Amino acid sequence: MFGIIRPCRHRLTERLLESWTAHLCGLCLALRDGHGQLARTATNYDGLVVSVLVEAQTASRPDDRRRAGPCPLRGLRTAPVARGEGARLAAAVSLALASAKMRDHVDDGDGLFARRPVAAAAGGVAERWRRQSRTAGSSLGFDAEGLFASLERQVEVEAAAGFSSSVLLVTAPTEEATALALEHTAVLAGRPGNRAPLREVGRYFGRLAHLLDAVEDLSEDQRTGAWNPLVATGTTTTEAERLCRDAVHGIRLALAEVELMDGALAHRLLAHETEAAVRRVFGHARNSWNPPPAGPNPYGGGQNPYGNPGAAGPQDGNPYSGGPYGGPSGGGPGGGSFPPGAFGGGPFGGGPFGGGPVPPPPPPMPPQRNGLLRACGMWALLCCTCQACCREEYPNPCNGRPMHGACRDADCCDACDCCECCECCECLECCDCSC
């Protein structure tokens, strides 16, 4: 399961939680029934929005739900699950996204996909899912070819992206693919007037998903040297956060123009859970990407504002070298750099107040690893006490690395600040908030 929308049960009313679970299980079972057991691994939280929107635009019917058998993920309990064209379209879209993602990993040789047997098997699965998605989409009147054409254009766009390119050019194919999927929900629901606003919702949602995925992968991509849209285009994380918040605002404005029969869950997922995803990703981002200035060094080659043309500038470590306070290679009055310890030795042991270099900080303590039984016991304790969900930070019982609770920075235990009335009476008309 993957996606940016991950609602916590603490933020959903009982009715919305039941509806969310019904769509999630309905998507999983639609993948199983239409495409085999392996296809259930393509269950996508974001693709679930397709099923939610189809149901939100149509009047409720008794056959919208069916009783599903016991499932280990539900504690071996039965539950009502969504079925129909919405679940089937969500399954087709999820297969398409999973196929494109797997193909991308194979092409890049990421992790296990660098091994030839794994890459060959994954490539075969991706191709089969592509064919199944195309067939399922065609049976619903959905232009699956247009979806795959947009996803395939992503490779060309990434290859042409440069340091001065706009990151929105990179996200454009994802925006177009998501827009096609959400627009078709209006066709299935028989509401042609909703096509234009839902296309806008999909465009902003695709932009948001692409940017959040890039921020989440930023540290790992920099470590491995993998391609990342923020690094490739020189987009800072601050600018990425601004674009994400603009996308959330655009989703809310476009969603307000969509005519819905029961839009409580759709409003919760698209107007509020997207905002929670932005807080989660940028609140947990451990690496801020600030690109170096493009073009030639502004302080070299006769452009030094501190002194003689062609002299060294602040990049050599001293902002006054080569300036009015020193010669061409000087760092102080009369030229010449200050030697180590020029200010005399001192109790600080180095730098400008000492006689030598500052000693490096001690290396961090390696994380503590636990045995299998101890790790399982600790995981059970974290889950049973809800610490894995709501604790600010805790060590991974398996490898000791720090982890954050799933609901950190998401106000999961608080009521919605502006739409509490929407959930208590389960309607949207009474809500006066701007969202």
DSSP 50-87: HHHHHHHTS---GGGEEEEEEEGGGTSEEEEEE-SHHH
Helix axes 14-35, 116-139, angle to 10 degrees: 110
Cα-based angle 228, 162, 205 (whole degrees, multiple of 5) = 50
Confidence of residue 113 (pLDDT cuts 50, 70, 90): confident
Looking at the chain, the whole-number percentage of residues with pLDDT higher than 70 is 71
Average pLDDT over residues 302-323: 40
Neighbours of 159 (CB within 10 A): 9
Q: Which residue has the higher pLDDT, 100 or 424?
A: 100
Average pLDDT over residues 276-303: 61
CA-based R_g, the chain, Å: 27
Return the minimum-mean-pLDDT range out of 13-22, 118-127, 422-431: 422-431
Q: Which residue has the higher pLDDT, 75 or 95?
A: 95
Q: With contact defined as beta carbons under 8 Å apart, do 79 and 25 qualify?
A: yes
Q: Which residue has the higher pLDDT, 330 or 117?
A: 117
394 φ, ψ to 5°? -150, 155
Which pLDDT does position 24 carry in this prediction?
92
Confidence of residue 55 (pLDDT cuts 50, 70, 90): very high
Q: Kindly compute the dihedral angle of the four CA atoms of residues 386, 279, 409, 283, in this order, to the nearest 10 degrees.
A: 100
Q: Nearest to residue 328, comparing CAs of 365, 300, 353?
A: 300
Q: Which residue has the higher pLDDT, 238 or 362?
A: 238
The CA distance from 7 to 92, in Å, is 22
Which pLDDT does position 320 carry in this prediction?
38
Average pLDDT over residues 131-139: 92
Domains of the chain: 9-288 (1.10.600.10)
The CA distance from 304 to 324, in Å, is 11
Q: What is the pLDDT of residues 14-54, one digit of tens each?
A: 899 999 999 999 999 999 999 999 999 899 888 899 999 99
Which pLDDT does position 341 carry in this prediction?
43
The CA distance from 320 to 21, in Å, is 64
Which pLDDT does position 431 carry in this prediction?
44
Which pLDDT does position 92 carry in this prediction?
94
pTM (2 d.p.): 0.69
Q: With contact defined as beta carbons under 8 Å apart, do 388 and 394 qualify?
A: yes
The CA distance from 265 to 423, in Å, is 9
Confidence of residue 336 (pLDDT cuts 50, 70, 90): very low
Buried b (16+ CB within 10 A) or exposed e, 55-93: bbbbeeeeebbeebeeeeeeeeeebbbbbbbbbbbbbbb
Which pLDDT does position 381 carry in this prediction?
80
57-61, Cβ contacts within 8 angstroms, sequence gap of 24 or more: 57/185, 57/186, 57/189, 57/191, 57/194, 57/258, 57/259, 57/260, 57/261, 58/189, 58/190, 58/261, 59/261, 60/261, 60/262
Average pLDDT over residues 347-364: 49
Evaluate if residue 243 carries a pLDDT over 90.
Answer: yes
Q: Where are the alpha helices (DSSP H) in 217-290?
A: 218-224, 229-233, 237-255, 264-267, 274-284
For tokens 């993602």, name the residue: 101
Looking at the chain, the whole-number percentage of residues with pLDDT higher than 90 is 39
> Which two three-digit tokens encode residue 49?
């929005």
Average pLDDT over residues 359-383: 69
